[in-house]
Structures are given as structure tokens and as C-alpha cells.
């Protein structure tokens, strides 16, 4: 079984989504189940409703799970196994206060050496501390594992001193709950961020202490750098999956981009289902990858092009395929749904005919054309059926020509003096002329 284990403590980061995608792909490739495990052990940081938000996003991206569990539901099992380790002499109660441990850290810092917990400290404050934690005994031998991206990684015993597995309130620590749950649900392979590399040997230590001999596969993904080259933080808007969706990027384009980051793919543009045939986690680059919004914009445009007119219309909150066709035309100069929505909003909003271009106003010409257009619309003139007929009829009625004709006509139809060719747009605009040809009340 493969798993994705998000914490409901904040917005989903693109790095988290990338890990979810890779776990899902491998599950599909190996015909294994895909588990979502909500890691809600940090009760002080959990945000109400974030779990539902995460699940909604995963569903939107087509990362459909076979099983859903909440880590907190296994607390009793975690405590039971912690007690088992104590009974086996592989874990112990530690009564050290936070102040005592902090003093030892400062002492180590002053002596310019790494802080290591000493098992002999465990009962020094037993008489004054009624709420001990539980620590698992540190490693006696080196712990190694093979990372599918980074290769073999070795951790010496001195790097793995005795660490806390149950807090003073009986809540399991991240590493203990994670290690136990990976056992309980028979996880076979784990893809996660490289910030978890130091957690992996601790989780292996826990599993071995519990007599679990299965060797799990691991792949730790390099960090994603911001466009400025520094680590992408949660303060970067583009790091938020919800923000990207809100900006009008398609889920399939985001998947395409995240899979291709630091990876050699057989095609430039692909869908999630395509990856099952060729994706290999071993091909992911070891070095960090830099976020490139321009690349994402390109891929988003390509995925929008793949949609038919009806699909495009639905994304633009319309059931009319003409709106979808019009939206696809704007892909010549736009790359997100938001940019296209802005173009359409401009077309369907009342027109500002007092705008000036190069110190020239077309207000008078706009009023002349507006009058004739309204007459043609009210009479349902046959000249409205195609652009050439419209143009010729309006020129004849208004006696306008050249720039004095085309600029005001463009303003009345699009609210702009520049843009796509009107003859390209008109076949779709003609269905909505009553809604389009309107003047702003302030004119």
C-alpha cells in the first residue's frame, strides 16, 4: 500500500501535492491501494476544517483514495505498543524537565559539541516531575536504507540517541505514530519531502524495536526553490495549491508541471493517466528544483487548448459552447482562466466610450455606431449574421471608415482599442449582442 499523510495544520503546499501525486502514480503502477492518513497528532496546531479542504483538493486533482484514516483514531494502539517497548526494556520513562534539557543543550553549545540525550538523566528529576515522557532507546548499530533518489544513506549510532515516542500527555510523537501506522497499514513504499530524511532512521529504529522486519522503500523529494533561488516558503503565494487554482490554473496542468520538475518525460504535455506507463521515481533529479511560473503558464495554456468548447464553457461558468469557443480564441494572449474571464467580463460589461488613445478620443464615433447598432439589433437585421455584412452595413449607415470606424467598433464590442481581430471574434459575439452593446451610465 502507498500512502499520503498530510497534516491538517495549514494550506496544502505544492511540495505536499507533488508527493501525493508520486505516491498515487506508484500505487497505480504497482496495482496497490492508495491510503490517505490525516496526521492529526499535533492537536495544538490542527485547524478545524483543513482535513476536509485537503480531501477536497485531492479529489479535484483526481487522486482518489481507497482508504481514509485519521491518526488520532490509533492513539490507543500507539500507547499499547509504547508500553510493550517499555516491558521489553527497549523504551523507558524519562522525567527530565524542559528546563533541565535546555540547560544541557546550552552546555553542549558552549562546548561546541552536538547535543545528545544521555540515558542516565532519565530519573534525575523523578521526584519533582509526575508526568514523564516515554523514550525509545537509541540505536546501538548504524541504520542504513536505500533512497530511490538519493541512493544509500547511513546513520551512525551517535546520530540516533534516545528520543521521545510518547509525550507527557500520552499523545504519540510524529515519528512514533508514523512508524507504527506504516506497520499497521502494511505500507510498502514512501515518497515524501527531503525534510523527512532524518526522520526515516528513527522510524526504522522504532519498527525494528517492535520486531517489524519488512524493509520499506523510500524516496525523499528535493525541495522546491522559489523563483529567486531561495527555499519556497508558505509565504510565497505560488506555493499554495489553493492559490494556484484560484488564479485559474487547471489541476491537470499543475500535475503536468509537478511531475516534469527535475524529471525527463517522454512528452512535454501529458495527463495523470499517461504517467502510469512511463513514470520512474528513480529519474527524479537529486538537486533542488526551481519554481517557474512561466513554465506552468505555458502548460496551462496547452491543457486549455485540449478542451473542447463545451468543456471550456463550463470552466467559465457557462453552458453555452460559444463562450467556450470565444475563451479558446483568447488563448492567443492569455494562459489562465482568470485572464480569460477578465477578457470576457470586459466584453459583457457596459462600454466606456470616453477612453482616449494617443490623445485621440473616439466618443463621437462610438455614439454614432452605437445608435446604428442598436437599431440593427432591435430590428433583428440580417446584416448581423456575419462580420462582413455587419461591417459593410455599419460603414454605409455611419459614413465612417478606417480608424474612425474600426476603433469605435472595437470599443463597443470589447471595451478595448486593441486585441484579437474582430472577424475572429464576431462569429461568437453575434449571439450576445444585446448584452454586449451597452454604454456605461457615466458616458
Per-residue burial over 312-347, b if 16 or more Cβ lie within 10 Å, else e, is bbebbebebbbbbbbbbbbbeebbbbebbbebbeeb
- What is the pTM for the complete model shown? 0.93
**Known binder of ligand: residue 50?**
no
pLDDT of residue 295: 97
pLDDT of residue 424: 96
Q: Give pairs for 375-383: CB < 8 Å, separation 24+.
A: 377/433, 377/434, 377/437
pLDDT of residue 96: 96
pLDDT of residue 443: 66
| CA–CA separation, 42 and 10 (whole Å) | 12
* Segments of 294-378 assigned E as strands: 356-357, 360-361
Q: What 8-state DSSP symbol labels residue 405?
A: H
| CA–CA separation, 370 and 345 (whole Å) | 19
SS3 136: strand
Pick from 71, 128, 62: nearest CA to 100: 128
| CA–CA separation, 105 and 94 (whole Å) | 16
> Which residues, in sequence order, are CB contacts of 346 under 8 Å at separation 6+?
414, 415, 416
> What are the per-10-residue average pLDDT scores of the chain (443 residues)?
96 95 98 97 91 97 98 96 98 96 95 94 93 97 97 96 96 97 98 96 98 97 90 80 96 98 96 98 95 96 97 95 96 96 96 87 94 96 96 95 95 94 96 95 73
Beta bridge partners of 192: 220
pLDDT of residue 230: 85
pLDDT of residue 215: 95
Q: What 8-state DSSP symbol labels residue 211?
A: T
CA angle 311, 314, 320 (to 5 degrees): 95
Domain boundaries, the chain: 1-63+177-306, 356-436
For the domain bounded by 1-63+177-306, which CATH number is listed?
Answer: 3.40.50.620
Amino acid at each position: 500500500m502507498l500512502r499520503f499523510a498530510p497534516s491538517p495544520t495549514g494550506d496544502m503546499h505544492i511540495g505536499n501535492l507533488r508527493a501525493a501525486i508520486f505516491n498515487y502514480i506508484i500505487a497505480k503502477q504497482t496495482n496497490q491501494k492508495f491510503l490517505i492518513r490525516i496526521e492529526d497528532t499535533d492537536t495544538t496546531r490542527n485547524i478545524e476544517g483543513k482535513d476536509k479542504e485537503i480531501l477536497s483538493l485531492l479529489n479535484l486533482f483526481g487522486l482518489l483514495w481507497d482508504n481514509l484514516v485519521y491518526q488520532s483514531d490509533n492513539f490507543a494502539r500507539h500507547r499499547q505498543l509504547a508500553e510493550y517497548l517499555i516491558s521489553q526494556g527497549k523504551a523507558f520513562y524519562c522525567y527530565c524537565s524542559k528546563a533541565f534539557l535546555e540547560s544541557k543543550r546550552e552546555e553542549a553549545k558552549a562546548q561546541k559539541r552536538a547535543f545528545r540525550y544521555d540515558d542516565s538523566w532519565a530519573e534525575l528529576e523523578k521526584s519533582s516531575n509526575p508526568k514523564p515522557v516515554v523514550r525509545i532507546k537509541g540505536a546501538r548499530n548504524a541504520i542504513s536504507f536505500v533512497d530511490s533518489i538519493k541512493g544509500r544513506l547511513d546513520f551512525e549510532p551517535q546520530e540516533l540517541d534516545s528520543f521521545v515516542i510518547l509525550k507527557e500527555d500520552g499523545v504519540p510523537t510524529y515519528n512514533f505514530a508514523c512508524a507504527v501506522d506504516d506497520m499497521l497499514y502494511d505500507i510498502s513504499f514512501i515518497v515524501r519531502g527531503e525534510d523527512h530524511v532524518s526522520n526515516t532512521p528513527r522510524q526504522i529504529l522504532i519498527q525494528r524495536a517492535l520486531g517489524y522486519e519488512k524493509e520499506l522503500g523510500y524516496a525523499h523529494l528535493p525541495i522546491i526553490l522559489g523563483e529567486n533561488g531561495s527555499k519556497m516558503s508558505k509565504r510565497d503565494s505560488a506555493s499554495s495549491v489553493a492559490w494556484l487554482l484560484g488564479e485559474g490554473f487547471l489541476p491537470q496542468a499543475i500535475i503536468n508541471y509537478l511531475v516534469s520538475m527535475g524529471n525527463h518525460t517522454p512528452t512535454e504535455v501529458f495527463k495523470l493517466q499517461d504517467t502510469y506507463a512511463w513514470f520512474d521515481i528513480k529519474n527524479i533529479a537529486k538537486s533542488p528544483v526551481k519554481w517557474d511560473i512561466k513554465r506552468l503558464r505555458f502548460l496551462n495554456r496547452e491543457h486549455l487548448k485540449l478542451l473542447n468548447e463545451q468543456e471550456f464553457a463550463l470552466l467559465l461558468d457557462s453552458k453555452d459552447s460559444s463562450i467556450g469557443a470565444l475563451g479558446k480564441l483568447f488563448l492567443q494572449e492569455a494562459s489562465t482562466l482568470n485572464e480569460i474571464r477578465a477578457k470576457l467580463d470586459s466584453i459583457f460589461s457596459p462600454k466606456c466610450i470616453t477612453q482616449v488613445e494617443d490623445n485621440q478620443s473616439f466618443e463621437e464615433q462610438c455614439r454614432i455606431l452605437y445608435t446604428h447598432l442598436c437599431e440593427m439589433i432591435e430590428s433583428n437585421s440580417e446584416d448581423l449574421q456575419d462580420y462582413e455584412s455587419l461591417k459593410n452595413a455599419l460603414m454605409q449607415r455611419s459614413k465612417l471608415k478606417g480608424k474612425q470606424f474600426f476603433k469605435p467598433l472595437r470599443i463597443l464590442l470589447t471595451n478595448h482599442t486593441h486585441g484579437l481581430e474582430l472577424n475572429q471574434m464576431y462569429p461568437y459575439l453575434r449571439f450576445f449582442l444585446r448584452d454586449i452593446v451597452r454604454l456605461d451610465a457615466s458616458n
